[in-house]
């Protein structure tokens, strides 16, 4: 849990610097935490498949820096904490651009599998669509890819429309720690 709190704080540390440069910016934080069960490990491809508490399945690519993938086995449980922050602002003119930074901190070799990954993306693009009811914008980046992002309540969304150029800083963080395993039941 301590690690998850640190990643939340660390992930948000990227946002104030970007926010200070943007007019009418705001931050949204959305946090999800769940205990998941490993269903498959593909060590060669560095992929681990998890089943969530509601039965959904997701596959996570393990960074090459991870040294404890050999300890991850089907049936093990892990606590995942995902933190997402979005800053949105109107930017007059300019050309579409994108930049990203990623920080990976993993437990040392021989320790319990786990760690944190924080990724921050700055995207200047064009709004393709605005969902005023649910407070989302679809932003098209420089390569034509579109990203749907949550917009903070204090951003004047009614002032945005399709075709506007905006600047978005999107920070997401993922903390993974091995959950306490139940002791094996003894058979008589």
pLDDT of residue 11: 33
Structure tokens belonging to residue 5? 């709190």
Nearest Cα to 112, choosing from 72, 80, 60, 62?
72
Task: Give the separation between CA 114 and CA 108, rounded to whole angstroms.
Answer: 9
Q: What is the pLDDT along the chain (188 residues), one digit of tens a residue?
A: 333 332 333 333 333 333 333 344 556 677 888 999 999 999 999 999 999 999 999 998 888 888 889 999 999 999 988 887 776 666 656 677 888 888 888 888 888 888 888 888 888 889 999 999 998 889 898 889 898 888 877 778 888 889 998 888 878 888 888 876 655 555 55
> pTM of the entire structure?
0.63
Task: Give the separation between CA 60 and CA 8, rounded to whole angstroms.
Answer: 19
Task: Give the separation between CA 54 and CA 34, rounded to whole angstroms.
Answer: 10
89 touches 25 (CB < 8 A) = yes
Task: Give the separation between CA 183 and CA 172, rounded to whole angstroms.
Answer: 34
pLDDT of residue 90: 63
């Amino acid at each position: 849990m301590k690690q998850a709190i640190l990643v939340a704080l660390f992930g948000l540390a990227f946002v104030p610097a970007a926010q200070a440069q943007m007019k009418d910016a705001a931050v949204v934080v959305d946090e999800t935490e769940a205990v998941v069960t490993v269903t498959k490990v593909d060590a060669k491809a560095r992929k681990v498949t998890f089943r969530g508490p509601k039965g959904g399945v997701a596959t996570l690519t393990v960074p090459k820096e991870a040294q404890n993938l050999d300890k991850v086995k089907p049936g093990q449980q892990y606590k995942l904490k995902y933190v997402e922050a979005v800053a949105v602002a109107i930017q007059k003119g300019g050309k579409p651009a994108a930049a990203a930074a990623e920080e990976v901190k993993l437990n040392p070799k021989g320790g319990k599998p786990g760690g944190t990954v924080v990724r921050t993306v700055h995207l200047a693009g064009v709004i393709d669509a605005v969902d005023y009811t649910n407070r989302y914008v679809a932003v098209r980046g420089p390569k034509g890819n579109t990203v749907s992002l949550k917009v903070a309540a204090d951003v004047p969304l009614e002032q945005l429309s399709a075709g506007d150029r905006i600047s978005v800083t999107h920070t997401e963080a993922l903390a993974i720690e091995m959950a306490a395993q139940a002791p094996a039941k003894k058979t008589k």
